[in-house]
Amino acid sequence: MAEPRTVRIPLPALGGAPDRAALWLRIQGDAVADLHLEVTEAPRFFERLVDGYTCDQAVELLARVAGTCPVAHQLTAVMAFERLFRWEPDAWVTDMRRVLCCGEWLRSHAAHLHLVALPDHLGCADALALAQRYPQEMRRGLLLHELGSALVRLLGARTVHPVGLRVGGFHHAPPAADAAVLVGRLEDALPEAEALVRWVAGLDVPDGEQPFTSVALGEPDQYAMAGGRIQSGDGLDIGVDHFESEFEEHHPGYSTAPHVRLDDRPYLVGPLARLNLNFRELPRAVRVVIDTAGVRIPSHNMFRSLYARAVEVLLAVHDALAILRRYEPPTVPWRPVEVLPGTACHATEAPRGLLWERLEVDSEGRVRRARLVTPTAQNLARCEQDLRNALEAFGVDRGEEELRRHVERVIRNYDPCLACAIH
């Protein structure tokens, strides 16, 4: 038997520098004997950043966890505090929070599809090469991305680290005229989003059905975004308060990012997991488009994440349009909240998947301990499984550069936010 060989492949395209992420392999013959996805970026200690701050101050700070999904971090904290304080949002607040989620999903998915994933699938070196070969499709992607940013700006005042959310509602209600402008843009974008779904459905993706467990929030009668019960393809169905009793987080010695397991096994969160579990809750107009696209759902081919993101782009445009068509400014955008001590928990669906937060509040209304479990942290163990399967199917008797290109494609398919994952 041949001697095992060890390969460490730096992944600068994922971590920003060669020393922030790497794939470590031990190869025995034509099999992967061992594999680690090393995340070595320095911890940011964001859970301690909110210690001692009031609830509304913590909401503003948590937006800084990630520039790509600040809405999810803010909204999860806001709704956790409101659950603890026994405060129920009215219909206007609930609707506007869904529009805000739609904006974040739309811009995040459009950016990942057109700048990261589609170049990989269409044999382009980068997004600039994709724009040269598919100029109309790239223009469409940029239009959808900017529309998502405009939705976030409508309710958050700015697109990066928005400041619109607060415990008890919103700081400000946009004028009806501003919402009407976006209604017109959303109407123009709806056929573009439908065309995106059909285009992505027609692309060839590698075969690769593999067993995995999907985990996502679920709600009756709507595709879950800002709340619901935590559900899995294996029958799990729990309230968000019971997350820690079912999911185990641990730090592998080779990574500053934690891994999370369910029943001592990796699992998947994110667009494909959501679509697998919730496709029956999609609006009828969206179902009509995907029913004619020819892609089987549920799917256990990880490369169908590309398609799931396109479907969620269409969903975001559809839902934001339906809500803003009936928009009327409220008398007041927020109502007072009585602060109570205790432990606040909530979960929402960030673009990359389930985001769970627990925040302990004292009698003065200050956060004294926080725990955040991010989508990328939950997906890292599943990604390692996927990499092992992909490399053995691809063939490990290749040069390091060829292996690097292949593993980066697999990892980018998860749209990881490594900085978000470290503690």
* Higher pLDDT, residue 246 or 205: 246
Mean pLDDT score of the chain, rounded to an integer?
A: 93
**For 39-88, how does the pLDDT look when each residue is reduced to its tens digit (9 = 90+)?**
888 888 888 889 999 999 999 999 988 878 999 999 999 999 999 999 99
pLDDT at 278: 97
Above 60 in pLDDT, residue 15? Answer: no
Above 80 in pLDDT, residue 422? Answer: no
pLDDT at 43: 80
| High-pLDDT (> 70) share of the chain, % | 98
Which pLDDT band, with edges at 50, 70 and 90, does 421 fall under?
confident
pLDDT, mean of residues 241-254: 95
pLDDT, mean of residues 153-175: 96
Which pLDDT band, with edges at 50, 70 and 90, does 14 fall under?
low
pTM of model > 0.85: yes
* Higher pLDDT, residue 141 or 421: 141
* Higher pLDDT, residue 143 or 418: 143
Above 60 in pLDDT, residue 371? Answer: yes
Above 90 in pLDDT, residue 100? Answer: yes
Above 80 in pLDDT, residue 17? Answer: no
pLDDT at 260: 97
Overall CATH class of domain 46-380:
mainly alpha
pLDDT at 12: 74
**For 173-209, how does the pLDDT look when each residue is reduced to its tens digit (9 = 90+)?**
999 999 999 999 999 999 999 999 999 999 988 888 8
**For 114-149, how does the pLDDT look when each residue is reduced to its tens digit (9 = 90+)?**
999 999 899 898 999 999 999 999 999 999 999 999
| High-pLDDT (> 90) share of the chain, % | 77
pLDDT at 330: 97
pLDDT at 423: 63
Q: Where are the domains of the chain?
A: 46-380
pLDDT at 326: 97
Measure the CA–CA gap between 121 and 82, rounded to whole angstroms. Answer: 43
Vertex 392 angle, CA 388 and 395, to 5°? 135
Above 80 in pLDDT, residue 13? Answer: no
**Tokens found for residue 100:** 């805000």
CB 281 within 8 A of CB 224: yes
CB 109 within 8 A of CB 134: no
pLDDT, mean of residues 22-42: 88
pLDDT at 403: 87
